[in-house]
Every structure is written in structure tokens, then in C-alpha cells.
Structure 1
Amino acid sequence: MATNYTNEAIRNILIGFGYLAPDSKVPGNSPPWKTNNNPLTDAPTVTAIKKFQQDYPPLKADGDAGEQTKKVLYDTIVSLQQNLKRHGFATETQIPSDKPFYGPETYKAVGEFEQKQGLTVNGIADKEARTILSQSSLPTNNVKLIDVCIQFKSNPKKPSYLEALKYLENQLSPDILKNFTNEWRQTNDVNPVLVKLKDVCNSYDEKPHQDKALSYLQRQISPDVYQKFTELWKK
């Protein structure tokens, strides 16, 4: 099955995993997003394949959807669908085990998962979503760090917000904070002066590199820590 994917099916999986932009000509931005079965050699598709390969070493990030890459795509979509069913967002009837594609039912199930978790509801199972779904139990109504910063700017003196950010900062390792600081400042310093999370939220203005940094940080937080952070935030 892994090697029998059409180019169209591969494009839809790459879109579903957040590596390739949907076709703007598809009404409603719903799957199937691509009807293009052309060779996977156009620049956006090659870039998307490389990004996927970089997230799944030891794949070589060469932009070529060879047999190894197809096998990992297959394993990843199968894992996603199994986790969606395991957590109750779909049934075997809705997403049969012999349909390892990113179709309408997978899209719908991912959207239901995102809604329950307080994530942006777009039906796209990016790496963050796939990581959360792979856990044995799901965090309870976690808030996204991007939304945290937006909320904080509207009320920067709220005690529960300050307490939650301080708690989270204390749970992060120096290496994670160093990497986050460099991502946030777009630098590559060996020993940067570490940013404070309340200062981060105060200065957040929805720039792409800031969103990227916050997404990186969110992926580093353990489920238990994030659940406690969410409880403090919503207190």
C-alpha cells in the first residue's frame, strides 16, 4: 500500500500534515485539496517533501518521494488514524484501516480533536497535533501559547496569568530556553540572555518568527507541565 500512493494522494497527505498549502481553487478549503496528479517535481511540493523528511530522520531531505519516504508517509498517516480512533474522534467504520489516506473523514476527525484541545480548527494534523495525539491520554483543554500571549497583552497584570507564566518558565530547561530565545530574537548566540515569558507575551505582535518560536516552545513542554500551566492560566 505504501508504494501505491498516487501523486495526488501524496499531495493530500502533505497538505493534511501541514507541509503543503491547500489548492486555493478548491471551494471551502476542504479535502480532497488537490486534483493534481502531476509528477512531484514542482517547487512547492519538493519543499514540502523536504520539510517532512527533515521531521522524520533518518530520511534524507532531498525532496524526492522515494520508497522510504512513501513508507514513512504511510506509517505516519496510519498512526494518525489509529490515534484518532483510540481517542474517540473516529470509528473503524468512518476511517477503515485499509484506507490510509488523508480524506474527508480524517480531516473531520482532526477538526474535532483540535476543537476539543483548544487548538486552531483547520483539519490539519501538523507535527504538534500528531505529537499530542500520540500520547496515551490527551491534555485537558490546553491553551495555545500564541493565544496565551494575545490574552496576556489584553490583561498583563492578571495574577493567574503571571503565576502561570512564571510556573512554566521554571519548568523549562536552560537549553530549551536558550533555543527559544534564539528563535524568538532570530539570533544564533551561544549564551544569549534568556527572555522572560511575560516579556515575550508583552512584545508579541503576531510576526511569523514569533509564532514559529512559540510553536517550538509548545512542542517542548511535557503533557503534565502543560496541563498544570493551563489550570493556572484559567484559574
Structure 2
Amino acid sequence: MAVVTTRQMLEAGVHFGHQTRRWNPKMKRFIFGERNGIYIIDLDQTLTRAEASYKFVRDLSAKGGSVLFIGTKKQAQDPIRSYAEKCGMPYINERWLGGMLTNFETISKRVAKMMEYERMRAAGEFEAMPKKEALLLTRELEKLQKNLGGIRGMNKRPDAVFILDTKKEHIGVTEANKLGIPVIAVVDTNVDPDVVQFPIPGNDDAIRANAL
């Protein structure tokens, strides 16, 4: 059974790349043609790459591996959160903090701090504090939850990362490459596919395409 069909991709606009003047020559092999100054992505390759990526993730999950979903631009935030939660996987959809992979120990301490604040608030300890102190801790907790809430259950580095928009998430891509963590990503016509181990050519801007 196909993971996704060509018709679904066409309806979602997956085949629409960027304007021809905004392209990366390394994406040439994934481009079908050009129409009205827009590159058209070869959906046969998208389908093949999506199937290969699905098989890799399926096999990884079967072994108990984890995939970190990453997408912080507005149109990626909801799909990233909803599908990560559906799969029971960690996600980052607000802001990539430098060192999330390469300095994982420090990030883990911040997650632990967030969870301790949550425990304190649930136990009513915030209410027993001076108002100003409680307000400061509440604000800090909200900031931690916003940036790190999606990785609260990630107790080790992920076995792979899935990224929407490698150009925006270039720091995450660099960190994953540095650590040898496989990168699965939707690659539009303006990005470098060579930094991605499992590139899926497609529109990384359209909301429907991101959701698909």
C-alpha cells in the first residue's frame, strides 16, 4: 500500500517548487520542468523517496528507535506537533535552541528544570511564594514549556530527525550531520539535498503540502 499517492500530492501542491531564480542547482535531478517561472518537482521521485523514508522510519521504530520532528516556521508548527504526537515521538515546533543535539546534556537539564517547576506548581508551591517570585517562575516555566515541551520525554538523542525546511532549520541539520544522526527532510528547489540522508523532494511552504 502506498504511503501517499501522486493524486494526493498534486492536490496538496507538493509539486510546486520555488521561483526559477531562487533555486539550488543541486536540486536539478529532482526537477521535472518549469512553468510560469516556477520549478515543477518530479513527483515520481517524491513518491519513491517518500516510500524509502517510510521504510527506514518503520524499521527504526520497530527496533524502538526515536525520530525527532523539527519544523518551526508557522505553516509547519501544527503538522509537526500533531503528527509527532500521533506517532508518540518528540518534536520541536517553536524555536531551535543551539545545542539541542550537540549539547544534549545541558538541554536535558533545562527539561528537568521545567518538569520540576511543573511539579512545584501542581503541588501549590507557587501559591505559597511571594507574588513577584511566583510570577517570575510562572513566566520562566511558560517559556520552557513553549521551547522544550515537545521533547519532555526524550531522554537520549534521537536516532533520526525529520525536518520541514532545511534552510530554516540549518542549525539542526548541521548538528545532526555532526553527530551522524540520519536526516529525513522535505527538500524544496531552493535547498541543498546533499546534507540530507533521506531527501523527499517537495513544496516545504504550502500548508496542505506540509500537512501531507
| TM class by smaller structure | under 0.3
Bigger relative contact order, structure 1 or 2 (CA pairs below 8 A, ≥6 apart): 2
- The two structures have a TM-score, normalised by structure 2, of 0.28
Structure (1 or 2) with the greater strand fraction: 2
Structure (1 or 2) with the greater helix fraction: 1
